[in-house]
Amino acid sequence: MYRYNQFDTEYVRQRVAIFREQVARRIAGVLTEDEFKPLRLQNGVYLQLHAYMLRVAIPYGTLNARQMRALAMIAECWDRGYGHFTTRQNIQFNWIRLDDVGDILEALADVEMHAIQTSGNCVRNVTADHFAGAAKDEIEDPRMTAELLRQYSTGHAEFAFLPRKFKIAVTGAAHDRAVTAFHDIGINIVRKEGVVGYRIVIGGGLGRTPIIGTELVEFLPKADLLPYLEAVLHVYNRYGRRDNKYKARIKILVQELGIETLRAEIDAYFTATRDAFAGVPDAMLGAIEAAFQPPEMPPEMDVAEAYDLRHDAALSPALAAWMETNLEEHRDGRHAIVSISLKAPGATPGDASAEQMRVIADLAERYAYDEIRISHEQNVILPHVPKAHIAAVFRALDAAGLASANIGQLSDIIACPGMDYCALATARSIPIAQEIATRFTALKMERDIGALKIKISGCINACGHHHVGHIGILGLDRAGVENYQITLGGDGTEDAALGARTGPGFSAEALIPAIETILDTYLHGRKNRDETFLAFYRRVGMAPFKRALYPPTNRARHESAA
Amino acid sequence: MIDSNSARIVVDAAGFHLDDWHKRARFTPEDLAGLDAKTGASGVLVLDAAQRVEDLTPWLNVLTAVEIGFDNAGDGRGFSLARALRGLGYARDIRASGGIHVDQFRHALQCGIDAVILTREAASRMPEQHWVNAATTTALNYQARLGFASASWRSREDLNL
Amino acid sequence: MSAHPIQYVITANDFHSGAVVFWGGDAWLLRLRDACVFERAEDAEAMLTQFRPEQVVGAYVIEVVADAGQLQAQHIREAIRARGPSNYFHGKQAEEDHVSL
Ligand code: HEM
Ligand code: SF4
């Protein structure tokens, strides 16, 4: 794992000092709130409904036990004992006092963490495949690229005041677990004629105008990545729209200029400035590369045979069920990838208590080479667990209420904070997630339904990724009353697709029955159990769902209510 | 002490100065076609943030003073404009004016802007010491470490000015 | 429609803590029920320019109704701000009546 060098440490400390000084100037009345707001946002501090919120970056989702314990400590000392992991591999603390932020940032700096550029119109926390370094289908660990980009984008003077935020995701595997098609820049590590390089996708995004990204470069040599991105950002900064914040993301520039014109602009700047780029010094590249080598294993591992997990499964049905959903094959047959679900039915998706964070930290340290990941699906991953210890890990998780066996299933719901916390929300999302998960797990439908991604956002900004949910739910405000729009068929992977709206929205009370209707339509219509919800939708389309959701009598009622 | 009421104030990494450009002729890119080199060299070219500076190439070794207007504090186009000018080889003074404040001074300096032009009101609200402190924070620079210590990031010393 | 007339209250977030506060007539208070109630929106709006920025952030006017003597925020968002989130017993609903900011 990457450890801060002296420069990183000095940089982060300096940023803490600068922020403390900015807060002091704001308190003294030297800075107005309008001037202060962008400054606090560049340090991850929002004002939400009930308090300030601090968003802490977890670069490319990687943490060690010490860092996880620091998050637990922050949750206990300065918040209400928990934190909320987000779809962008960040953690949010919901009950922060502005006066405490300096101390919290200092505590983060102590464990090589920060909240820099987790908000504002700048390059945000760079995300990556949460199975990086463990996935079987990986060409190269995407975190090397993501760390290079973290350094490159941090404090970049030219790009601190872009037209709008700028999100980059990196994947090194064929199966896209990082939603790269829906980022301002998606980076896919590819191999061409034996050489590793990048496929660059631009202008994807969710929000008000969901768009699947367009290929900008088919194959970019690795050494060109930074000057090329510099050209992309330069062109965006100069020509991205600033007159309308809903049209300010780079996806709109791609649409308005056309990919050819935009590419020509970028290429012109890239060609003109590339020679002035000396290249990343070998020592720096080497340090980054060294930081993402496979974990150092004890000598016993050299002779270890792959442990047969079927023994454990035979002894405990609960463990067997959990292994079925929460384990993923590791590239090294002696290990498995463990997903720890933060989606106990009825709990708040993505929330972990300080105590749970400590349990995870202990397990990572004891059994999993001190490595933890946060996934964009708001779960925690132990990427390298020796199979011999899967049972022990399961028992410890179970005791902490962390053994929900539901990864990739109905109750593994992504939900943004929604109107319970978020100042931008138009409706609540957490209670909807809670209700869906409790209702349908109680009905024991989950296993039968199988693979299903439900994603809920509390407003059009789509932090809950609803457009790419197999079932997406968007909470809106209809004359002061919460109303929920349903989309079907979204997919955030390499087969990227945007969900299509079923039709008119549903009140909070009508939403759960509507979801039940959708699930029944699938269960009754599928060819067999192997046909997943998404496959079924792709085969039959929207029509049967529409018929079931809006029978003629109801339709009249809907329209008169609309 | 700066006590003239007429002139604006200019702040560079060393601190406050009186605006020494206020007597110079000011012109915009459209005016360039009708100018001779001598006038071009003695006046100030005023750019707004939407300018395509690539079109100014023939003038870049004539001009000695460029002022980039920042529409408001949230509009970072001027930073890219300055970098583009430096990238094109323009090596003389660049100043920023308009909605730019002390917490953006580091950004301005790192993008090749030499100084910021302030109104009296802005200068009294943002004291000199804040600007000087902000200028020192340019020292920690990830981009320079990564190989971007290029023409567009050049310091005054490198230019032997 | 509500049988009760719509009235107006000024709300904001405390600058230091971020806590939800309501204008009580001469101070910012933590409880909606202690808020100063305006009969006319214009009168509440007129107050907005008078607040000191180092005390609160983003003061604005919300609609309330007095139902059986209880002030209720009209919009769900304001009801949540006045009460606390629905997923945890946190925020106003969990606080003592006279916590300090
Ligand atoms: C596939 C290779 C491995 C095998 C077959 C293996 C097997 C075992 C066995 C048989 C025990 C004794 C369990 C007991 O007494 O109940 C043990 C203990 C332990 N192993 Fe491993 N192990 C392997 C790899 C690792 C690795 C790589 C780590 C650390 C990253 C690790 C951490 C531990 C710890 C902490 C204990 C003590 C557990 C306790 O007392 O509860 N093991 N291992
Ligand atoms: S989707 Fe909307 S409600 Fe949800 S977190 Fe994002 S901005 Fe807030």
Ligand nearest to the CA of A472: 2
* Beta bridge partners of residue A221, listed in sequence order: A197
CA B52 vs CA A237, A258, A272, B77, B152: distances in Å: 13, 19, 15, 11, 17
The answer to whether the beta carbons of residues A532 and A450 sit under 8 Å apart is: yes
Partners of A162 on chain B (C-beta within 8 Å) are: 76
Residue B157 has pLDDT above 60, yes or no: no
Label each residue of B19-87 as H, E or C.
CCCCCCCEECHHHHHHCCHHHHHHCEEEEECCCCHHHHHHHCCCCCEEEEEECCCCCCHHHHHHHHHHH
Long-range CB contacts (within 8 A, 24+) of A545-550: A545/A488, A545/A502, A545/A517, A545/A518, A545/A521, A546/A502, A546/A503, A548/A517, A548/A518, A548/A520, A548/A521, A549/A486, A549/A502, A549/A503, A549/A514, A549/A517, A549/A518, A550/A502, A550/A503, A550/A504
Question: Tokens representing A279?
Answer: 């290249």
Contact C58/A428, CB-based, under 8 Å? no
Closest C-alpha among C46, C43, C25, C44 to residue C35 = C25
DSSP string spanning A198-216? EEEEES-B-TTS-B--EEE
Residue A29 sits in the same domain as residue A161:
no
Please identify which residue in the block is written with the tokens 């290929």: A215
Note whether residue B152 is domain-resident. no
| Chain C contact for A434 (CB, 8 A cutoff) | yes
Selected residue with higher pLDDT from A221 and A308: A221
Note whether residue B94 is domain-resident. yes
Note whether residue A406 is domain-resident. no
The strand ranges marked E within A42-113 are: 45-47, 52-57, 62-63, 82-85, 90-96
Model confidence pLDDT, tens digit, residues A516-533? 999 999 999 999 999 999
Query: What distance in angstroms lies between residue A127's CA and the mean position of ligand 2's atoms?
Result: 19
pLDDT, position A558: 53
Name residues whose C-beta falls within 8 Å of residue B6's C-beta, 6 or more positions apart in sequence.
B22
Which chains does chain B touch, 3 or more C-beta pairs < 8 A? A
- Report residue B112 CA to chain centroid gap: 7
The answer to whether the beta carbons of residues A225 and A145 sit under 8 Å apart is: yes
Cα A199 from Cα A342, distance rounded (Å): 33
Note whether residue B157 is domain-resident. no
3-class SS at C55? coil
The answer to whether the beta carbons of residues A505 and A550 sit under 8 Å apart is: no
Please identify which residue in the block is written with the tokens 């709130």: A33
Closest C-alpha among A363, A307, A355 to residue A330 = A307
Model confidence pLDDT, tens digit, residues B56-82? 999 999 999 999 999 888 899 999 999
Query: What distance in angstroms lies between residue A553's CA and the mean position of ligand 2's atoms?
Result: 34
Residue of B48, B54, B77 for testing the chain A interface, max A β-carbons within 10 Å: B77
| Chain C contact for A95 (CB, 8 A cutoff) | yes
Mean pLDDT of A34-59: 94
Give the residue, by CA position, lying nearest to ligand 2 atom 2.
Answer: A459
Residue A297 has pLDDT above 70, yes or no: yes
Which chains does chain C touch, 3 or more C-beta pairs < 8 A? A
| Domain count within chain A | 4
Mean pLDDT of A327-340: 96
At C4, is the pLDDT very low, low, confident or very high (cuts 50, 70, 90)? confident
Ligand nearest to the CA of A295: 1
Residue finishing a domain among A281, A315, A334: A281
Contact A158/B83, CB-based, under 8 Å? yes
Please determine, for the modelled complex, whether the ipTM score is greater than 0.90. Answer: yes
Ligand nearest to the CA of A302: 1
Cα A266 from Cα A231, distance rounded (Å): 5
- Report residue A3 CA to chain centroid gap: 22
Name residues whose C-beta falls within 8 Å of residue A159's C-beta, 6 or more positions apart in sequence.
A122, A123, A153, A166, A233, A237, B76, B79
Note whether residue B150 is domain-resident. no
Partners of A427 on chain C (C-beta within 8 Å) are: 76
At A131, is the pLDDT very low, low, confident or very high (cuts 50, 70, 90)? very high
| Chain A contact for C48 (CB, 8 A cutoff) | no
- Count of all residues that appear for chain B in the document: 161
Cα A370 from Cα A378, distance rounded (Å): 20
Mean per-residue pLDDT over chain A, rounded: 95
Residue A155 sits in the same domain as residue A266:
yes
Mean pLDDT of A151-165: 96
Residue of A nearest to B75 (CA): A161
Phi then psi dihedrals of residue A189, to 5 deg: -80, 125
Residue A509 sits in the same domain as residue A421:
yes
Name residues whose C-beta falls within 8 Å of residue A368's C-beta, 6 or more positions apart in sequence.
A338, A382, A383, A384, A385, A393
Residue A262 sits in the same domain as residue A316:
no
Handedness of CA A283, A285, A288, A292 (dihedral sign): negative
Residue finishing a domain among A58, A85, A110: A110
At B159, is the pLDDT very low, low, confident or very high (cuts 50, 70, 90)? very low
Q: Which amino acid is it at B14?
A: A
Residue of A nearest to B123 (CA): A30
Residue finishing a domain among A233, A248, A281: A281
pLDDT, position A557: 53
Ligand nearest to the CA of A55: 2
The strand ranges marked E within A294-346 are: 327-329, 335-340
3-class SS at A42? coil
Mean per-residue pLDDT over chain B, rounded: 87
Note whether residue B60 is domain-resident. yes
Instruction: Return the CATH number at A361.
Output: 3.90.480.20
Note whether residue B1 is domain-resident. no
Cα B92 from Cα B84, distance rounded (Å): 13
Mean pLDDT of C23-33: 94
Contact A420/C57, CB-based, under 8 Å? no
Instruction: Return the CATH number at B107.
Output: 3.20.20.70
Residue A421 sits in the same domain as residue A391:
no
Mean pLDDT of A191-206: 97
Kindly tell me the number of DSSP H helices and DSSP E strands found in chain B.
6, 7
Closest C-alpha among A522, A472, A475 to residue A501 = A472
Instruction: Return the CATH number at A172.
Output: 3.30.413.10
Residue A46 sits in the same domain as residue A14:
yes
Note whether residue B161 is domain-resident. no
Q: Is residue A328 packed enough to be buried (19+ CB in 10 Å), middle (13-18) or exposed (0-12)? A: middle
Model confidence pLDDT, tens digit, residues A398-457? 999 999 999 999 999 999 999 999 999 999 999 999 999 999 998 888 999 999 999 999
Q: Is residue C11 packed enough to be buried (19+ CB in 10 Å), middle (13-18) or exposed (0-12)? A: buried
Q: By residue range, what is the domain housing residue A480?
A: 414-561
3-class SS at A335? strand
Q: What lines the ligand 1 site, CB under 6 Å?
A: A 297-298, 301, 304, 307, 334, 366-367, 369, 386, 388-389, 392
Closest C-alpha among B133, C23, B76 to residue A160 = B76
pLDDT, position A28: 85
Q: What is the dihedral of CA A232, A233, A236, A238, to 10 degrees?
A: -120
Cα A511 from Cα A113, distance rounded (Å): 40
Phi then psi dihedrals of residue A493, to 5 deg: -90, -160
Residue A133 sits in the same domain as residue A255:
yes
Model confidence pLDDT, tens digit, residues B5-55? 457 899 999 999 999 998 899 999 999 988 888 888 999 999 999 999 999
Closest C-alpha among A237, A232, A241 to residue A259 = A232
Residue A551 sits in the same domain as residue A434:
yes
Which of A47, A421, A481 has its CB closest to that of C13?
Answer: A47
Q: What percent of chain A has pLDDT over 90?
A: 91
Residue A267 has pLDDT above 60, yes or no: yes
DSSP string spanning A337-398? EEEEPS--TTSPTTEEEHHHHHHHHHHHHHHSTT-EEE-TTS-EEEEEEEGGGHHHHHHHHH
pLDDT, position A513: 97
pLDDT, position A287: 97
Residue A141 sits in the same domain as residue A274:
yes
Residue A222 sits in the same domain as residue A166:
yes
* Closest ligand 1 atom to Cα of A369: 30
Note whether residue A431 is domain-resident. yes
Closest C-alpha among A156, A217, A229 to residue A189 = A217
Residue A178 sits in the same domain as residue A227:
yes
Q: pTM score > 0.80 for this model? A: yes
Handedness of CA A124, A125, A130, A131 (dihedral sign): positive
Query: What distance in angstroms lies between residue A404's CA and the mean position of ligand 1's atoms?
Result: 24
Q: By residue range, what is the domain housing residue B77?
A: 8-145
CB < 8 Å from A in window 50-79 of C: 53-54, 57-58, 74-77
Per-residue DSSP letter, A54? E
CA A451 vs CA A456, A511, A531, A535: distances in Å: 17, 21, 10, 10
Helix (H) or strand (E) holding B150: none
At B4, is the pLDDT very low, low, confident or very high (cuts 50, 70, 90)? very low
Distance between start and end Cα atoms, chain B = 26
Model confidence pLDDT, tens digit, residues A377-396? 999 999 999 999 999 999 99
The answer to whether the beta carbons of residues A309 and A280 sit under 8 Å apart is: no
Note whether residue A118 is domain-resident. no
Note whether residue B153 is domain-resident. no
Cα A127 from Cα A78, distance rounded (Å): 26
Closest C-alpha among B20, B56, B63, B67 to residue B38 = B63
Model confidence pLDDT, tens digit, residues B104-150? 999 999 999 999 999 998 899 889 999 999 999 988 999 999 998 54
Selected residue with higher pLDDT from A52 and A27: A52
Residue A30 sits in the same domain as residue A106:
yes
pLDDT, position B99: 86
Cα B53 from Cα A378, distance rounded (Å): 45
Residue of B71, B83, B90 for testing the chain A interface, max A β-carbons within 10 Å: B83
Cα A335 from Cα A333, distance rounded (Å): 5
At A554, is the pLDDT very low, low, confident or very high (cuts 50, 70, 90)? low
Partners of C90 on chain A (C-beta within 8 Å) are: 50, 80, 95
pLDDT, position A31: 85
Partners of B89 on chain A (C-beta within 8 Å) are: none
The answer to whether the beta carbons of residues A121 and A163 sit under 8 Å apart is: yes
At A32, is the pLDDT very low, low, confident or very high (cuts 50, 70, 90)? confident
| Domain count within chain B | 1
Note whether residue A369 is domain-resident. yes
Give the residue, by CA position, lying nearest to ligand 1 atom 25.
Answer: A386
Question: Tokens representing A326?
Answer: 């929460």
Cα A362 from Cα A251, distance rounded (Å): 42
The answer to whether the beta carbons of residues A425 and A374 sit under 8 Å apart is: no
CA geometry: angle at A139 spanning A298 and A195, to 5°? 125
Closest C-alpha among A104, A251, A260 to residue A181 = A251
